Amino acid sequence: MATNAKKKVHYVNNKEFLEAIVERKQLLREAEESGESKPQISNYLGECILKIANHLSYRPNFINYTYRDEMISDGIENSLQYIDNFDPEKSKNPFAYFTQIIYFAFIRRITKEKKQQKIKDRILKRSNIQDMIVVQAHDDEADYQTQYIDFLDKYNFADPDDDDKDKDKKKK
């Protein structure tokens, strides 16, 4: 019995991607020899990098971030920055190379955003937010303020030791 197993179609063809990078390397060498500036990357290379970044952003560990567009942009930027470092003689898998670059760009963006969130949380806590909350006449002011402060405490990403670290730095 012969089974007709269909080949799975990937969104980036690794062989064509490798050929495009080899072609770019050749164009770079020619531009260097003639003293010209670096050539622009081809539309196909840009499309492949964009597809890799977009598809990687749909992984479960990246999908729910509100700053997913910034993550994709960082991944594309880093890929374009390091596109000429790929050596086809060492590796025949540009897909894996660019996936790693984009993955770590995503991780760096998440780290930056979490750091910014910690700073925002600290500013909110230190700004005496209870005095700034304005409630309507029919609302119970104390309950509303307490609930908001409890919410900030519950979903605070800042380490509780951060305030102690800040105090220690000021003492020194």
pLDDT, tens only, 89-99: 999 999 999 99
pLDDT above 70 covers a percentage of the chain that reads 71
Given this model, what pLDDT does residue 42 score?
A: 94
Mean pLDDT of 119-142: 69
Contacts for 104-112: CB closer than 8 Å, 24+ residues apart = 104/78, 105/71, 105/74, 105/75, 105/77, 105/78, 105/79, 106/56, 106/57, 106/62, 106/71, 106/74, 106/75, 108/74, 109/67, 109/70, 109/71, 109/74, 110/65, 110/71
Q: Which of the pair, 145 or 16, is modelled with greater confidence?
A: 16
Q: Which of the pair, 40 or 165, is modelled with greater confidence?
A: 40
Given this model, what pLDDT does residue 154 score?
A: 73
Where do the structural domains in the chain lie, given as residue ranges? 14-115, 128-172
pLDDT interval class at 1 (50, 70, 90): very low
Sorted by sequence, the CB contacts under 8 Å of residue 130 that are 6+ apart come out as 145, 149
Mean pLDDT of 67-85: 96
pLDDT tens digits along 12-48: 999 999 999 999 999 999 999 999 999 999 999 999 9
